[in-house]
Amino acid sequence: MALLKILHYPDERLHKVAKPVGQITSATRKLIRDMAETMYAAPGVGLAATQVDVHEQIFVSDISEDHNELRVFINPKLISSTGVEECEEGCLSVPGVYEKVQRCERITVQAMNEKGETFTLEADGFLAVCIQHEMDHLKGKVFVEYLSQLKLSRIKAKLKKRQREAM
């Protein structure tokens, strides 16, 4: 397994729309293992393929405290959603930035796992937020883009400053 490079906002590649996975191959399963290792090492609770510059509809998630409940979502589709809640979110592609975003409170998602088996999952709370966040990545959207233009410009300035200081 290998750690993958995570793209950082505002990298344009984060805005590419991911294509559906046609066939799950050994390369797909290796990508999933590498994504999981990268997510755990970051550390994070979700990682979309888009964030590692692979533009296929795949994301991994594990919101457990012990990091022992890895979930794999391939070609996910939102089947239903209800309610609205506001939660603070962060993102491995926008390190150090945490902001409140409105999401659906409850969702039902259908996807395939790494074996190609279709499943349906009803989720609420933090898991629902995480799934919606990662599905946005597959559509080329980053959570900070839900914020006001003022907040977004401040975040971009903060990230550029950090980038200059790191050089």
Catalytic residue among 56, 89, 114, 134: 134
Give the integer Cα–Cα distance in Å for 92 and 104.
21
Give the integer Cα–Cα distance in Å for 22 and 158.
39
Order the strands of the 118-124 sheet from edge to edge.
46-48, 58-61, 71-91, 94-112, 118-124
Give the integer Cα–Cα distance in Å for 154 and 167.
20
* 13 DSSP 8-state letter: G
134 is catalytic: yes
Q: Which residues contact 164 (CB under 8 A, 6 or more apart)?
A: none
Active site residues: 134
